[in-house]
């Protein structure tokens, strides 16, 4: 039996909130890179930004899959 992810989120609200957090992270990352390009904090922020972008992608994919499943069911 295949494992399946279960999403208990309100997609539009979640994506908006996550996108806002990602935008903030990217701003801080740009500032930090220009001031201290070799800082360990840069790598930490990059990692956080990548994690958030993956989470956004996962939610969007889950929503698209659910929509497609609904279309195919009809």
- pLDDT tens across 18-42, in order? 999 999 999 999 998 898 878 888 8
Tell me what the pLDDT averaged over the chain comes to. 83
pTM, rounded to two decimals: 0.69
Higher-pLDDT residue of 2, 27: 27
Evaluate whether residue 61 is within a structural domain: yes
DSSP 29-74: HHHHHHH-TT-HHHHHHHHHHHHHHHHHHHHHHHHHHHHHHHHHH-
Evaluate whether residue 57 is within a structural domain: yes
Evaluate whether residue 25 is within a structural domain: no
pLDDT for 6 beyond 60? no
Please report which confidence band the pLDDT of residue 7 belongs to, taking 50, 70 and 90 as the band edges: very low
Number of structural domains in the chain: 1
Find the largest Cα–Cα distance for the chain: 56
- Position 22 scores a pLDDT of 92
Question: In angstroms, rounded to a whole number, what is the distance separating the alpha carbons of residues 3 and 43?
Answer: 32
Evaluate whether residue 9 is within a structural domain: no
């Amino acid at each position: 039996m295949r494992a399946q992810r279960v999403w208990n989120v309100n997609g539009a609200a979640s994506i908006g909130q996550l996108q806002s957090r990602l935008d903030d992270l990217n701003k801080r990352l740009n500032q930090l890179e220009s001031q201290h390009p070799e800082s360990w904090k840069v790598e930490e922020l990059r990692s956080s930004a990548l994690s958030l972008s993956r989470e956004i992608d996962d939610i969007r994919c889950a929503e698209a899959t659910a929509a497609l499943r609904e279309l195919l069911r009809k």
